[in-house]
Chains A and B, each alone.
Chain A
């Protein structure tokens, strides 16, 4: 008898979801969980035009996040007709199809990528899709999860399946111990700075190593969330005791005998010893410092104690041109210290960093301090449960006393689809995932960083090394 070939976590999930293989290399995959949000109207419309109904509504869950205001939970107070229309369309489309929706006032509402894991809808071994690129987040529970466009959303609604060509695999191993003040956000920004914004294109990333094992579930969700910012099709972390402890007792997680049976299956998911990846990258966790981005690509990330680069010293012409564009757009001076960069606004939230652990870390810095003169600082919880938990812990009072605005759950200023944007020229220290030009409003300038670093920027009025504030106590 021959030993079975060692397989990766990715390959195990891929194999168990194949419905059909075609000679041309395409595989029809079955989708366990389909998450939809208030940007899904075009996909429902595509399906309606063809007279097709969703095949498996019990596998689909919905929540409005992109177009909801974060200063109210009243639908009638959404002033923009188009935004209200998107929220209404989700309600109408899900009701017509018998899809469970967590509406504006539902106890489970929130950003779809916060809600899935938190509600126990995203489970190890699942194939999960959503019409949003940050669906990679859900891979943190040991699932294969990726974002798709409207036509593919309609295809999944109509058939519960998706045609895919098998992607390559990339293992990123981060060993060592993260230093004080260094979080999952810094790890992923360091990874993207190292491999580039297209470094994982065509690949599914599995994150491994002792520094990854040591991350909480919230940290792993942050890490996998930004896999797409490295070009990755998906990001995954093998399930372990941290995963099981996080999922146990979640509203939609299995219980009793079902839990026991699932758990046995989940334990077989991690990559086998000797499993081969198409590529391997390693980083030293001990060497990672708190990171912040300066340009208009997430790969433009540096340790907070660094100075801005000099585009004229860049040998690659294409790269030099991009850097010059970024310096002009961002209004920065080559060679200046990152810590000298003053900020106008701070945004703490998003599917990247809107979870309870993120808010705890930010509150720890905000406690007993005050938002700097002239700075507007927002805290936008990733979901209604995160908001309730934070209030139960008194975090909302810490933020409000420190001069932050405490808001309702939604995507908000991460991309501003709900109208919550910065003014042209304003500089934002943001815990979100993209620093693209105009991402947070036309002319707005975004610096990406972790939640404690964002709080440090809020209370000092400039990009600041949170480690110094932590030392002050």
Chain B
């Protein structure tokens, strides 16, 4: 997994509550293997008309935000299904961080596993970042994971992050390999459970 330490990029705003994973990647693309570029499916049905024409007003299609690596989302961003392809679509498009007042729990877990930072900030901070992005499209913001701060022309905020998620992101941790170093603990648990049957 690619480590995440610092990021400076434009931030593309999606100022809506409850943007669900069906919007991020429609279900009909879920049968594609991971090796396929999922960036092409990101916000597919919002980004383009049914005839395939790109919608020029959609934020990702606007010149200043085409290469944005940060998403600013509304409350309960990526609620809904467990599809990890929602993270893959963001990642393959180049997105490395999403900032929102709250996230769907499963999406937040999936993000860490793929090196994407799902950052929770208070709603007024997210609103300030969105207002700035809309006022100055393409304006860059800085995320610094070691110091847990985000800085833009609108201000500087510190953010909380689970220590384990932070370590995973900073080091690009391979979780399964780490867990399997505890194989004896797992085997001991299975042995105990076998005797007591839970």
Which residues of A are interface residues toward B (Cβ below 8 A)?
A: 16, 19-20, 22, 24-26, 28, 30, 32, 39, 41-42, 45-46, 50, 52, 55-56, 66-67, 82-83, 85-86, 125-126, 131-133, 147-152, 154-155, 158-161, 163, 165, 167, 197-198, 201-202, 228, 231, 233, 261-262, 265, 296-297, 299, 318-319, 321-322, 325, 415-417, 419, 424, 434, 436-439, 442-443
Known: A86-B31, A131-B82. A159 touches B179 (CB 8 A): yes
Known: A24-B167, A26-B164, A262-B197. A318 touches B16 (CB 8 A): yes
Instruction: Report B36 CB to chain A, min CB distance, Å.
Output: 11
B15 adjacent to chain A (CB < 8 Å)? yes
> How far, in angstroms, from A150 to B88 measured CA to CA in the complex?
11
How many B residues, CB 8 Å from partner? 53
Instruction: Report A138 CB to chain B, min CB distance, Å.
Output: 14
Q: Are B164 and A165 in contact (CB under 8 A)?
A: yes
Instruction: Report A232 CB to chain B, min CB distance, Å.
Output: 8
* Chain A residues with CB below 8 A from B110, complex form: 149-152
Query: Which of A46, A131, A325, A439 lies in contact with B27, CB distance below 8 A?
Result: A439
Instruction: Report A304 CB to chain B, min CB distance, Å.
Output: 23
> How far, in angstroms, from A148 to B185 measured CA to CA in the complex?
23
Q: Are A148 and B27 in contact (CB under 8 A)?
A: no
The 9 closest A-B pairs by CB, nearest first: A149-B84, A198-B76, A149-B110, A151-B113, A24-B163, A82-B31, A147-B82, A150-B84, A436-B22
Known: A30-B190, A198-B75. A443 touches B109 (CB 8 A): no
Q: Are B105 and A161 in contact (CB under 8 A)?
A: no
Closest to A47 in B: B176
Q: Are A322 and B185 in contact (CB under 8 A)?
A: no
Q: A147-B81, A197-B18, A297-B20 are in contact. List 18 more A-B contacts (CB 8 A).
A: A19-B189, A30-B190, A82-B32, A86-B31, A126-B198, A132-B82, A149-B106, A151-B110, A155-B175, A158-B179, A201-B76, A297-B17, A321-B16, A416-B28, A417-B27, A434-B20, A434-B81, A436-B22
Q: Are A155 and B176 in contact (CB under 8 A)?
A: yes
Known: A147-B106, A149-B84. A30 touches B45 (CB 8 A): no
* Chain B residues with CB below 8 A from A131, complex form: 82
* Chain A residues with CB below 8 A from B114, complex form: 151
Instruction: Report B28 CB to chain A, min CB distance, Å.
Output: 7
> How far, in angstroms, from A133 to B79 measured CA to CA in the complex?
10
Instruction: Report A293 CB to chain B, min CB distance, Å.
Output: 13
* Chain B residues with CB below 8 A from A24, complex form: 162-164, 167
* Chain B residues with CB below 8 A from A16, complex form: 198
Q: Are B84 and A151 in contact (CB under 8 A)?
A: yes
Query: Which of B26, B33, B164, B186 lies in contact with A442, CB distance below 8 A?
Result: B26
Known: A24-B164, A198-B75, A231-B76. A45 touches B34 (CB 8 A): yes
* Chain B residues with CB below 8 A from A158, complex form: 176, 179-180
Known: A149-B82, A201-B76. A163 touches B164 (CB 8 A): yes
> How far, in angstroms, from A463 to B163 measured CA to CA in the complex?
49
Q: Are A160 and B186 in contact (CB under 8 A)?
A: yes
* Chain B residues with CB below 8 A from A154, complex form: 176
> How far, in angstroms, from A83 to B186 measured CA to CA in the complex?
36
* Chain B residues with CB below 8 A from A442, complex form: 26, 45, 50
Q: Are B15 and A318 in contact (CB under 8 A)?
A: yes
> How far, in angstroms, from A296 to B180 measured CA to CA in the complex?
42
Closest to A151 in B: B113
* Chain B residues with CB below 8 A from A202, complex form: 105
Q: Are A417 and B28 in contact (CB under 8 A)?
A: yes
B182 adjacent to chain A (CB < 8 Å)? yes
Q: Are B17 and A318 in contact (CB under 8 A)?
A: yes
* Chain B residues with CB below 8 A from A438, complex form: 22-23, 26, 45
> How far, in angstroms, from A151 to B33 measured CA to CA in the complex?
13
> How far, in angstroms, from A16 to B196 measured CA to CA in the complex?
11
Known: A198-B79, A201-B105, A265-B198. A22 touches B164 (CB 8 A): yes
Q: Are B179 and A155 in contact (CB under 8 A)?
A: yes
B135 adjacent to chain A (CB < 8 Å)? no
Instruction: Report A431 CB to chain B, min CB distance, Å.
Output: 18
Identify 21 residue pairs between A and B in the complex whose beta-carbon atoms are under 8 Å apart, listed by A's number: A20-B185, A24-B162, A24-B164, A30-B189, A85-B31, A147-B82, A154-B176, A158-B176, A163-B175, A165-B164, A231-B76, A297-B17, A318-B75, A321-B15, A322-B16, A325-B16, A415-B22, A417-B28, A436-B23, A438-B23, A439-B22
